[in-house]
Structure 1
């Protein structure tokens, strides 16, 4: 069977939480639940590092503005992880060229990462912090659920991931005007503070 649906789904999930994807796939392979996972993802050192980084992300992802900084840092990491995981899965199955799988996984991860980062910027315009916690928890559960589902029903999981990606892009387009207004207001307030400090400075 083609590994294409699993590559697409893992790419989508990597754009949201790459460490969770590596950890889950590695655990599924190590426990013998699937033979689709390459041995390199099942190594103990890989699982430990992925687990530690997943915990770091779980904390950072729930703090307003810290989550956006974290997303900025991971603009390269998440697509790269999606590409590597996709290439490894293709190499394990032999049903899809590794370069093609890497390109698919990386591009899908980049798309979902941009949706996540943009949505977080919109959420951060809200004055209360609880929306970050709720959204982050939903993302973690969504990634865990979709990756687990993909192990047993890869085609159906890929369809769900595609629908979620399309819905996320549509939501981001809808929220973009709100994001722009927020950053304009922040820049205006920063400029007002700077001008106020200049006017209040003693003459030389």
Structure 2
């Protein structure tokens, strides 16, 4: 059960950050017999699934490093990452009781949503800065986090579950602050644009 909980939590959390990279990495590990997935997740090791996930992961790798466009990408994937996290979490339990699967799906969706919203809020704040380097650093850090997190979830489940509890506590603390920061940043940008337009109009007069 610990292994199943860690697998479900790892897949859903990682999906909130990098869905396609998550599916690709787990699929490759299962394909080569390094990890053994439940029968309900057997499609992850399909060559077609691995190939499609690899292509999409490559496109996400590029999109995530373009300032402002990455926030649009995150907005669209709100409707993809969270449901996918729920499905993967439920699938990690195998052929379990339907009630347990429902609980797992809800928990997986919540965990994927926490990871996704934390990522999206952080990147939105970073995109308020004109320089592009912090965007690249943040994106690369997320790639590393997904790889390390999946490795812990698959091979050190107890360690991963403890770290996930810490992440959830951090997310509950950070998300309201990120939201206020993003709101304040966009209000500041709007006020600056209005001021600039007013000054241009005054010069023309």
TM-score by length of 2: 0.86
- 4+ residue stretches of structure 1 with deviation over 6 A? 193-201
Q: Does 1:59 align with 2:75?
A: no
Residues 25/146 of structure 1: CA separation in 2 closer, same or farther (3 Å cut): same
Matches within 5 A, 1:26-45: 26-37=27-38, 38-45=41-48
Alignment partner of 1:108 out of 101, 108, 111: 111
Alpha carbons 1:6, 1:155 under 8 Å: kept: no
3-state SS of the aligned residue for 1:68?
helix
In structure 2, C-alpha distance between the alignment counterparts of 1:45 and 1:22, rounded to whole Å: 12
Alignment partner of 1:128 out of 128, 131, 134: 131
In structure 2, C-alpha distance between the alignment counterparts of 1:152 and 1:84, rounded to whole Å: 22
Q: Does 1:157 align with 2:160?
A: yes
TM-score by length of 1: 0.86
In structure 2, C-alpha distance between the alignment counterparts of 1:161 and 1:128, rounded to whole Å: 32
Q: Does 1:138 align with 2:141?
A: yes
What number of residue pairs does the alignment pair up? 201
* Farther off after superposition, 10-19 or 70-79: 10-19
3-state SS of the aligned residue for 1:127?
coil
3-state SS of the aligned residue for 2:34?
coil
In structure 2, C-alpha distance between the alignment counterparts of 1:77 and 1:35, rounded to whole Å: 25
Alpha carbons 1:22, 1:50 under 8 Å: kept: yes
Structure 1 residue 179, shift from structure 2 partner: 2.1
3-state SS of the aligned residue for 2:152?
helix
Q: Which runs of 5+ in 2 are unaligned?
A: none
In structure 2, C-alpha distance between the alignment counterparts of 1:95 and 1:144, rounded to whole Å: 31
Alpha carbons 1:7, 1:104 under 8 Å: kept: no
3-state SS of the aligned residue for 2:35?
coil
Q: Which runs of 5+ in 1 are unaligned?
A: none
Alpha carbons 2:114, 2:171 under 8 Å: kept: no
| RMSD after superposition | 2.4
Structure 1 residue 192, shift from structure 2 partner: 4.9
Structure 1 residue 80, shift from structure 2 partner: 1.0
In structure 2, C-alpha distance between the alignment counterparts of 1:118 and 1:169, rounded to whole Å: 13
Alpha carbons 1:84, 1:102 under 8 Å: kept: yes
In the other structure, the counterpart of 1:70 is 73
